[in-house]
Structure 1
């Protein structure tokens, strides 16, 4: 018996493995006709919807014009003066005054210079803005009176100040190293502590300090990398970061630069501590003592000795023992001396964990 299989959601006829081909062909035709009808109905529904970028005339939207008119009338009815507001007290307001919130109301008060500056300005004493501007103008006029003739305008004076600032900057270019009697780096400087910087944030320092492509693989500082958390293992000439020198706790030594005092030394390197090759000569003391004529006796606790040809030792008494050893007593000598020589020896160690001169701790910084 044929199986009338249908789709799960819309119940559209579909073929079934148990059906014969002629039966399923009829069902396929019926299914396509059903799908065609559904698509046509969907197109008709979509055609009735407005496009996403369509427009409407205000009059076509029910109630919109009346709401806009009501809002415009409400705005027109509002007074355009501060006096009409319920939380203001500005009846005595005049030009140059400002609003200050006092006693739960916005009150007009005379403008004071303190409203516009966190710290007092030296030479400006007026409590009002107008008065402060007048004092500032007077100070500028007095300054211009003392300006040399070649600076006949304030702009020329400003240009000269800017030029002087540029000359100061040139005197301390990016990459300069200096020491400061302070715990923090001053403005325009960074601690020379081996930090990894973003090149984009310090382009001038990057250009001045970069070790160069051929040294980027081995330089101890001034090299570029891709990972600030693992700088030495991510060296890359196209990296976005650059490494500062670490001068903390170090003495500086000028680069040899071909002189030959520190021959073979490369820039961008450091050195460990080292003693120059040397020796210490110790002259061992010697001693000579003098004595009168005397003999030396060899003493032993041996009590047995082997007689010639005997298979076992023979026993002797004390008198025989002493007589036996008379042959081992040195003969008397005239007055003579004995010399004692002492061989080379090593002294005990002394000192600390390093060799250093007197020094003072300051903060090493690099200009950016």
Structure 2
């Protein structure tokens, strides 16, 4: 037992007692009210939680699991924040039978903290120097062992990371080798035909599409704006090989001379001859032939006669007569030329062929 004034004056004295079990409660009840014959209530170390008025905790902050509340306690009245063990004498029950005192003695009640009562304290564990030294050595050993374990774990992790890094480096080298082999076998800008209707991985359809200069940087470095500059800033155009035959670039040779690299060229046999003033098989002037190689015509098979001057067929409008460029030169007779009144069209030359998908490597 200790008194409240002594608690306040000695900072080394512990807090009020915490009662953790029925056995402790029974012992303290007998000790306080039977042996010591205390005739007042006794403070114990329970208090109402400031953040939850319906719950109590011990002074050391631990949760109260065992309770011994008297009937009507704890209440929800304001300021009843402290807890005491009741004595029969303070209840005016001094004449109660001996065997009935336990029904009152030791029961808990919540009251205001200003009430004057005895206090029931518990002593702190005292340590001798050898005990303290041993405890410190034990703690030091535990810390050392923990540090060694952590160090081993860190070393193992470091080794694992090093192995992973080496593996990633090997994979990166393999990928670089594969990429170099692929680039060597089919560098960006390579044209190939595929027996499928979708472009394989690493290829794009050669369909004249506009694509990003950044996303397809290797392809842009290879072909640039040869087939179109796109928006002139962020995009460029692919070659459009749909429905086209491929012809070798003359590259300075005296065959198909004057052709720019990557340029398109139309068929040269449309039209071949004119039906001129009732005279057959008169040659069209060379100036007109050079000018009228009808681009993009999609006539049917064979020969198409009697196309009227000024008539439009498959997107091509044939020239009208009475035009200085629309006439045929005679090789004999009093006149040097005659007006063209109608056309006989011989369709473009086309070999047997098969349609495959043209793609470009990026």
TM-score, normalising length: structure 1:
0.32
Question: TM-score with structure 2 length normalisation?
Answer: 0.33
Structure (1 or 2) with the greater strand fraction = 2
